[in-house]
C-alpha cells in the first residue's frame, strides 16, 4: 500500500532536509570511534559504524542526529579526502595487493587496483607511492588505491630517507643535467685577489664551500673585511634548465646523514666550491667596521678571482683560540687572519648586545650513521667560537647586501620578521606584567622596543618566560621589498652568502651583479617568494620526520631500556606533555595517564604551558624532569615516556 508512494517519499525527503548539517574534519581514535572537529572548540561524536565510511583527516558534510540522548554524526558528503597521493607499505593477501597508508591514524588496508605485472613489481613489505581512486562516501563499496611508483624494498636501511622524501614529493637525487662543459657565462672583468690570504672555516667534511674571508686591520683600530662568495650564477644562465631545477628545489635539502643538493655536485662541490689553492670566480664585498663595532656606509660589491689559502675546520680553529688542542695554523699569515677575525667577532658581539639581538647558545644534535645508513649514536654539539666568527662575518655581509640593494634598487629577496602582531603584543604585555616586566604594546611593536625586550629576557635567563614570549612571536618570512627583521634586531637583512645552497641567494647575486654592471634589474615576483617559503617549510618537515624515525630506531636498542633520561618539557597539549631528551635530542610524549590516574583532576593549560593537578601547578614548559621510556612505536615514529618520581 505504501510502496512507491510519492507522498511518503516527499515526506521522507522533507524530514531529511530538516536534519541539521555540519561541516568539519574527521579525527579518528585507536578505539574505533571518532570525532568531527568543527573548530578548535567544538566537536561531535562519530560512532564506530559511521567511522567505517570515512578516513581520519577527511573534510566532510555530515548529518547531526540524536541517538540515545547523544548528538552523533552520520557522514553524508565528502568535500576533500585526506588521502590523495600518499605513501604506504605493501601487503599481499590471497593473491591480492593491499597498501597500508603510512599515517598514525590510518590502520586499515586499502585494496589496490593494478595491472597484472604489479604482482611481480611489488613484494610484501615494499614501500610505494599510491593514489586514492575510490572512496566509500562517494558511493563505492570499498576504498581503492592505484599504485604509482615503488619507493624502496622492505628492510632497506635507507627506508626512513626515501619514504620521507617520497611522502613530501621532494627530490631524492642531485639534479640530472649534463654538467661536463660548464663554462663561465659572463664576459666581465674581475679583480684579481688571488694573492690575498683568504681562508675558509667549515665543518671538516664540508664539500660545498661557499664563503671565504680576508681581513685587514687599520692603524686606528678599524677592520676591513672582504667576504668572497662562490658564484654559481657565473655558470648558470637565468631561465636555463638548471636554473629552473634550482628554482623548483629552492634549497639544498640537509637531512640526517647526507644532503640532496640544489645544484649538481660537480658544480656545488668542485667547480664553484672555494676549495683551497684553486682559482675561483666570486662575488665579493668589501666592508669597513668602525672601532665601536658599527658598519661603515662605505660598502663595495665587486666581481673577483680568489684562491683560498687554507680550508680550516670549526673544531681546529676553536681549539686553537681556546688553547685546548694540538692544532696550530699552518702559516703565520693564516694565524693573523684567525686572530683578526676573532677580535672582529668579539667587537660585533659587543655591538649587537647593545644595538640588536644576540642568539642564545643551544645544543645541536647530529646522528652518527654507518655507511649503509644504520644508526650508531647521536653526537651533541655546541656552537663554539669558530662558528660565531663565521656567523658574525656572514651577518655583516648580509646586512651590507640588504643596505646595498635597498639604496640601489629598493627590492630583492629579504629575510623579514615582524615581531608581534597587535593581538599577540597585547597578550605578551599582559603576560610580562605578571613578572614585573613593564612594557607597552606600542613599545614592543617597534624594532627598538623589541630588541630591548629580547635583551632583558636574555639577561633574565628564565626559560619559562622566554618560551611563552616566543609563543607570541610571529614567524620569519621572505619579502621582495625591504622590511625589518625583529628577531635579529636589524632594519633590513638579505642573504647572498649561500648561493650554492639557496635559490634566494642566487636571485640576490643576480641583482647585485646588475648593479655592479649597471644593467637593468627585474624585481622578483611574489610567486617566487611563495615558492621559496613553501619549499623551506617542506624541507624542515622532512628533516624532522627523518629524525623522528631514526630516534625510534636508535632508542629501541637494549642499552636504552629502563634507562633514566633528563628531559626538558617543551610543550603542553590537550592530553599530555612533549619533552626533549637532553642527552640525544629525541622528542617524547608523556600522556596524562602517567602524570595522574584521575583524569578529571588534571588540567592541561596550553596557553600558560602548565599542568595542574587538583588545582596545584605540577609541571610547566622549560622544567627539567627525569623520565624513562615506556613505549617506542616504530610504525608511528613516536616515543612514549613516563616521569620518574
- Catalytic residue annotation: 202, 208, 210-211, 314, 501
Query: Is the C-alpha dihedral spanning 510, 512, 518, 523 positive or negative?
Result: positive
Strand partners, 200: 311
Map residue 416 onto helix, strand or coil. strand
Q: Please state, in angstroms and rounded to a whole number, the distance separating the CA atoms of residues 429 and 328.
A: 51
All three cell numbers of 344, joined, read: 672582529
Q: Please state, in angstroms and rounded to a whole number, the distance separating the CA atoms of residues 385 and 453.
A: 26
Q: Please state, in angstroms and rounded to a whole number, the distance separating the CA atoms of residues 227 and 306.
A: 11
CB atoms within 10 A of CB 4: 6
Picking from 126, 129, 135, the residue whose alpha carbon sits closest to that of residue 108 is 135
**Ramachandran angles phi, psi of 148, nearest 5°:** -105, -45
- Length in residues, the chain: 645
All three cell numbers of 420, joined, read: 608581534
Q: Given its phi and psi angles, is residue 585 left (phi above 0), alpha (psi -120 to 50 degrees) or beta?
A: left
Q: Please state, in angstroms and rounded to a whole number, the distance separating the CA atoms of residues 304 and 281.
A: 6
Q: Please state, in angstroms and rounded to a whole number, the distance separating the CA atoms of residues 513 and 412.
A: 12
Q: How far apart are the first and last CA of the chain?
A: 73
Q: Please state, in angstroms and rounded to a whole number, the distance separating the CA atoms of residues 179 and 241.
A: 12
CB atoms within 10 A of CB 415: 20
Q: Please state, in angstroms and rounded to a whole number, the distance separating the CA atoms of residues 147 and 85.
A: 10
**Ramachandran angles phi, psi of 131, nearest 5°:** -130, 130
Map residue 208 onto helix, strand or coil. coil
Q: Please state, in angstroms and rounded to a whole number, the distance separating the CA atoms of residues 378 and 552.
A: 12
Contact residues for 17 (Cβ-Cβ < 8 A; gap 6+):
none
Amino acid at each position: 500500500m505504501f510502496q512507491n508512494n510519492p507522498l511518503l517519499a516527499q515526506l521522507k525527503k522533507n524530514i531529511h532536509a530538516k536534519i541539521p548539517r555540519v561541516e568539519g574534519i574527521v579525527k579518528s581514535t585507536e578505539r574505533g570511534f571518532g570525532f568531527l572537529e568543527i573548530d578548535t572548540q567544538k566537536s561531535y561524536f562519530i560512532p564506530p559504524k559511521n567511522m567505517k565510511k570515512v578516513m581520519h583527516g577527511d573534510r566532510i558534510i555530515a548529518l547531526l542526529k540524536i541517538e540515545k540522548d547523544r548528538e552523533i554524526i552520520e557522514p553524508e558528503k565528502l568535500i576533500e579526502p585526506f588521502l590523495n597521493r600518499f605513501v604506504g607499505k605493501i601487503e599481499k593477501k590471497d593473491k591480492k595487493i593491499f597498501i597500508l597508508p603510512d599515517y598514525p591514524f590510518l590502520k586499515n588496508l586499502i585494496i589496490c587496483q593494478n595491472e597484472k605485472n604489479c604482482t611481480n613489481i611489488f613484494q610484501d613489505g615494499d614501500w610505494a607511492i599510491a593514489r586514492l581512486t575510490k572512496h566509500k562516501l562517494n558511493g563505492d563499496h570499498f576504498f581503492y588505491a592505484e599504485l604509482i611508483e615503488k619507493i624502496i624494498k622492505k628492510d632497506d636501511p635507507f627506508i626512513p630517507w626515501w619514504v620521507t622524501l617520497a611522502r613530501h614529493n621532494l627530490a631524492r637525487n642531485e639534479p640530472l643535467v649534463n654538467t661536463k662543459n660548464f663554462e663561465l657565462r659572463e664576459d666581465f672583468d674581475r679583480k684579481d685577489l688571488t694573492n690575498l690570504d683568504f681562508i675558509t672555516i667549515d665543518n671538516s667534511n664540508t664539500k660545498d664551500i661557499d664563503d671565504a674571508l680576508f681581513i685587514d686591520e687599520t692603524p686606528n683600530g678599524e677592520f676591513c673585511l672582504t667576504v668572497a662568495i662562490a658564484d654559481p650564477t657565473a655558470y648558470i644562465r637565468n631561465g636555463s634548465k638548471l636554473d629552473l631545477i634550482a628554482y623548483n628545489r629552492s634549497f639544498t635539502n640537509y637531512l640526517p646523514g647526507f644532503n640532496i643538493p640544489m645544484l649538481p655536485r660537480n658544480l656545488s662541490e668542485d667547480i664553484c666550491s672555494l676549495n683551497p689553492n684553486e682559482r675561483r670566480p666570486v662575488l665579493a664585498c668589501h666592508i669597513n667596521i668602525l672601532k665601536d663595532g658599527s658598519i661603515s656606509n662605505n660598502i663595495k660589491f665587486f666581481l673577483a678571482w680568489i684562491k683560498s689559502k687554507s680550508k680550516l675546520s670549526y673544531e681546529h680553529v676553536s681549539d686553537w683560540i681556546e688553547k685546548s688542542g694540538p692544532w696550530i695554523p699552518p702559516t703565520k699569515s693564516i694565524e693573523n687572519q684567525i686572530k683578526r677575525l676573532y677580535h672582529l667577532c668579539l667587537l660585533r658581539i659587543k655591538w649587537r648586545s647593545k644595538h640588536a639581538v644576540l642568539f642564545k647558545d643551544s645544543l645541536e644534535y647530529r646522528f652518527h650513521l654507518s655507511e649503509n645508513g644504520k644508526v650508531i649514536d647521536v653526537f651533541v654539539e655546541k656552537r663554539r667560537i669558530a662558528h660565531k666568527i663565521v656567523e658574525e662575518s656572514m651577518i655583516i655581509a648580509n646586512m651590507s647586501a640588504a643596505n646595498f640593494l635597498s639604496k640601489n634598487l629598493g627590492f630583492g629577496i629579504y629575510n623579514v620578521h615582524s615581531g608581534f602582531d597587535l593581538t599577540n603584543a597585547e597578550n605578551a604585555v599582559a603576560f610580562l606584567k605578571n613578572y614585573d616586566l613593564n612594557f607597552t604594546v606600542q613599545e614592543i611593536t617597534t624594532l627598538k622596543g623589541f630588541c630591548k625586550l629580547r635583551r632583558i629576557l636574555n639577561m633574565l635567563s628564565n626559560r619559562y618566560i622566554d618560551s611563552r614570549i616566543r609563543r607570541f612571536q610571529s614567524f620569519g618570512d621572505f619579502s621582495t621589498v625591504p622590511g625589518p627583521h625583529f628577531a635579529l634586531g636589524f632594519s633590513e637583512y638579505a642573504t647572498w652568502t649561500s648561493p650554492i645552497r639557496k635559490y634566494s641567494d642566487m636571485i640576490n647575486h643576480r641583482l647585485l651583479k646588475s648593479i655592479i654592471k649597471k644593467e637593468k634589474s627585474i624585481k622578483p615576483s611574489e610567486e617566487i617568494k611563495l615558492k621559496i617559503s613553501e619549499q623551506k617549510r617542506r624541507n624542515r618537515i622532512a628533516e624532522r620526520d627523518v629524525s623522528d624515525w631514526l630516534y625510534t630506531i636508535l632508542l629501541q636498542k637494549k642499552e636504552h631500556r629502563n634507562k633514566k633520561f633528563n628531559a626538558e618539557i617543551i610543550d603542553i597539549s590537550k592530553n599530555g606533555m612533549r619533552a626533549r631528551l637532553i642527552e640525544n635530542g629525541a622528542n617524547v610524549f608523556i600522556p596524562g595517564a602517567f602524570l595522574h590516574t584521575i583524569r578529571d583532576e588534571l588540567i592541561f593549560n596550553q596557553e600558560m604551558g602548565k599542568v595542574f593537578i587538583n588545582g596545584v601547578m605540577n609541571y610547566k614548559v622549560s622544567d627539567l624532569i627525569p623520565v624513562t621510556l615506556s613505549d617506542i612505536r616504530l610504525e608511528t615514529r613516536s616515543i612514549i615516556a613516563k616521569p620518574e618520581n
